[in-house]
Chains A and B, each alone.
Chain A
Amino acid sequence: MVYSRYLLKRLIYALMVLFIIITFNFIIFRLIPGDATKMIIDPKFTSEAKAELKREFGLHEPTHVQYIKYVGNMIKFDLGISFSTGRFVINELKERLPNTMVLFLTSFVLTVVIGISIGVYTASKQGTFSDGFVTGAGLFTYAVPAFWIQLLLLMLFGYYIPILPVHGTISAPQPYGLFLQILDRVHHLILPAGSNVIVGFGSWALYTRNTMLEALDQDYIVTAKAKGLKENIILRHHALRSVLPPIITLVFGALPGVVSGAVITETIFSWHGVGKYLTDAIMMQDYPAAQGAFYLIALAVVVCNFAADIIYGFVDPRIRIGEGGKE
């Protein structure tokens, strides 16, 4: 009972956040200096033609009417037409979304799994050389700017040891055969995803290590040891399992950051995804495109947060108190 009420509350909260984001998205693009119509309206046009074009894009109406229409469109996922390509923004995003998802999920899953594993390992080896080395390395990659490491890697594996493609999602021309095509995609994925892992694993490793050390200090770990359980069962089943709730919350809480990180990664590696689309659109003052990409990313963030709330209730039995009714 308590859990479902909790979920309903989180859902309402998520919808409110989404609405606020939509509104900001509207305001921000109208605050950017420069005329929205400049990109598409040739200054040599007659004023009638200019007015006609403005009407076509709905820009002749007063701001509040534009806003109401805009909110309606957003709910219908009608993201308008790109100024620069003249195509529907939603179609362009649909093309790029799979690319982004591939990069994003690969890097994120690898980062979290590798980071947490390293954290568990270093916690079990506290004070040894390998603990110091791995923890130090994680701290370093975490502290320096992500794009710097990414550019260095690009230079290293693209120029000095040219074994990895430096840009794009696929080779042009694409190789024949499904297997080779998949291999080609993976080949392109290694550098961006790998660099994301290098940049991101540190914070997971350090956080996991610290919470693990705290957990390993608890009385119930002494009990588990006295019970004669195997070392790795104590580590995974007792220590890691008890620190998992906050880590899982963090995993979902970190998703938004990874989404925005994807914008930078995609730009650096010219990855044909939503993030690159967003930066390109902003560069070209293509407002509908930028707005659409923004909206999609914001939506992803809100959904991720909501998912975190749901998961948290599952992982931590103490949240489910009301359901058992045993207290």
Chain B
Amino acid sequence: MALLEVKDLKVYYKTLRGCVKAVDSVSLNIEKGRALGIAGESGCGKTSMAMAILRLLPVNGKVYGGLVMLDGVDILSMDDEEFRESVRWKRISMISQGAMNALNPVHTVGEQIIEAILTHEDVTRSEAVRRGNDLLEMVGIHPGRSKDYPHEFSGGMKQRIVIAMALSCNPDIVIADEPTTALDVMVQSQILKAIGDLRNALDLSLMLITHDLSIIAQTCDDIAVMYGGKIIEYGSVVNVYGNPKHPYSIGLLKSFPNIKAEKAPIISMPGSPPDLLSPPAGCKFHPRCPLAKGICLEKEPELAKVHPDNHRVACHNTDMLKKGTDIWNQ
């Protein structure tokens, strides 16, 4: 049994102009100690899915179907208070999007780590302080600085503090939503290295949400590519990067340079992500897809296995791709 199992999850937002299906029947698994990367453009439902798992959706967002199982227990139907006490941070913690603002400016960083420990565990304050200091040390912040306020740290340091905070209650799984987006490349690589090291040391499971495929390649075991609220390709990083099957994944992988491979033109996919208020019929990607044909306009493709190694793709044209044609440069 997988540690975290998301089955057929549907997250819809009620807006004045209609219902937005931000997450539409998404299923995925994360095993103990594995890292899953969720890739996709802005507005494809990545963050909504994460927020639904943590039950932190804004007021107008609701889960309209599906299950989220943690160790076989459905956490979406759990009582609010029980969920707060036994799941949040203790089992699933979060490194939030724009983590630069994830720290409250009026409390010391140490206090913000300690309060999480004290909320969930029956330890004395001095024990919590000691653990807070250990955590800071683990992410490379001098424990003496725990009495400082967030504005007294640089962006990269704040990010590391947020990571320390996420680990404070020894969670089983950490959801990192764009953990490095606001940081420059150097700091980004330090942070990713820190996340990777900690993951190995603590046998953590990780769900890493990003629009940057290179981050997933560096940090994760598996990848799920999302488009228009659905997963369109899902598999191990080796398989998906080595042998992408969905035209969208192929396009994404070709849209940034590979420093090791020989020179290849960088492509940009024309068009923009679908308007989820009125998504196109059939495959949501068909208006941008160079391979679109009759059936794509009518029938939405299922996520189907294309490789024994559980590599799955939602596309009607996977057969055509086997020929290895360069679909984006014709």
- Whether the Cβ atoms of B152 and A326 lie closer than 8 Å is yes
- Whether the Cβ atoms of B88 and A227 lie closer than 8 Å is yes
* Total of A-B residue pairs, C-beta within 8 Å: 83
B188 at the interface (CB under 8 A from A): no
Q: Considering only CB atoms and an 8 Å cut-off, how many residues of chain A contact the other chain?
A: 27
Which parts of B118-171 form the interface with A (CB within 8 Å)?
119-120, 145, 148-149, 151-152, 162, 165
Which stretch of A111-119, A217-225, A249-257 is in the interface?
A: A217-225
- Whether the Cβ atoms of B89 and A324 lie closer than 8 Å is no
Report the nearest B residue to A243, measured CB to CB. Answer: B106
Report the nearest B residue to A241, measured CB to CB. Answer: B106
Give the residues in chain A near B115, CB-CB below 8 Å.
227, 229, 233, 237
Q: Complex formed: what's the CA distance from A245 to B105 in Å?
A: 12
- Whether the Cβ atoms of B119 and A230 lie closer than 8 Å is yes
Q: Complex formed: what's the CA distance from A127 to B60 in Å?
A: 12
Q: Complex formed: what's the CA distance from A135 to B152 in Å?
A: 38
B98 at the interface (CB under 8 A from A): yes
- Whether the Cβ atoms of B84 and A228 lie closer than 8 Å is yes
Report the nearest A residue to B50, measured CB to CB. Answer: A226
A contacts with B: majority SS: helix
Which parts of A46-75 form the interface with B (CB within 8 Å)?
none
- Whether the Cβ atoms of A222 and B104 lie closer than 8 Å is no
Could you give, for residues 70-102 of chain B, a 1 whenever the CB lies within 8 Å of some chain A CB and a 0 otherwise? Answer: 000000000000001101111001101111011
Given that A230-B119, A327-B152 are contacting pairs, would A223 and B102 also be in contact in the complex, using a CB cutoff of 8 Å? yes
Give the residues in chain A near B106, CB-CB below 8 Å.
241-242, 244-245, 316-317
Give the residues in chain B near A127, CB-CB below 8 Å.
59
Q: Complex formed: what's the CA distance from A246 to B103 in Å?
A: 19
Given that A220-B102, A238-B104 are contacting pairs, would A228 and B152 also be in contact in the complex, using a CB cutoff of 8 Å? no
- Whether the Cβ atoms of B56 and A222 lie closer than 8 Å is yes
**B-contacting residues of A (Cβ < 8 Å)?**
127, 218-220, 222-230, 233, 237-238, 241-242, 244-245, 316-318, 321, 324, 326-327
Between A and B, 27 residue pairs with Cβ closer than 8 Å are: A127-B59, A220-B102, A220-B104, A220-B105, A222-B56, A223-B102, A225-B88, A226-B93, A226-B94, A228-B87, A228-B88, A228-B89, A228-B119, A233-B115, A233-B119, A237-B115, A238-B104, A242-B104, A242-B106, A316-B106, A317-B149, A317-B151, A318-B149, A321-B151, A324-B148, A326-B152, A327-B152
